[in-house]
Amino acid sequence: AQSVTQPDIHITVSEGASLELRCNYSYGATPYLFWYVQSPGQGLQLLLKYFSGDTLVQGIKGFEAEFKRSQSSFNLRKPSVHWSDAAEYFCAVGPRGNEKLTFGTGTRLTIIP
């Protein structure tokens, strides 16, 4: 069965600093990969997704993610975080031919001034 691991439960970074959130997946083939963000009291918003092709994917709000097949990883990055980026971030996989998404347990991001 597929699984997603987000090893960092909580990360704190200073405003303006760079950010990397880790995501590792387990699946027999290359899945579809997603990053979602959930702000307090809000639903999940899609940041970016990877299906195939270029392994560096650009998303909204200045985020990017890189798919590394050899490491089964899909880490999310941002060069300079803003206070408004404080939220919970979820990595998800959707196996080809399957409709449901499997989510990681999330990483809560705190931004300090």
Partner 1 sequence: GAGVSQSPSNKVTEKGKDVELRCDPISGHTALYWYRQSLGQGLEFLIYFQGNSAPDKSGLPSDRFSAERTGGSVSTLTIQRTQQEDSAVYLCASSLASGATDTQYFGPGTRLTVL
CA angle 86, 91, 92 (to 5 degrees): 145
Q: Which amino acid is at 83?
A: W
Shortest Å, Cβ 113 to partner 1: 28
> Which one among 13, 44, 66, 108 touches partner 1, defined by CB under 8 A?
44
Q: Which residues pair with 73 in a beta bridge?
A: 24, 68
Q: Phi/psi of residue 51, each to 5°?
A: -115, -45
Q: Is 43 in the site for partner 1 (CB under 8 A)?
A: yes
Shortest Å, Cβ 98 to partner 1: 6
Tell me how long the chain is: 113
Q: How far apart are CA 107 and CA 57, in angstroms?
A: 20
Shortest Å, Cβ 6 to partner 1: 8
Q: Is 36 in the site for partner 1 (CB under 8 A)?
A: yes
Residues that bind partner 1 (CB under 8 A): 4, 6, 31-32, 36, 41-46, 49, 51, 90, 92, 94-106
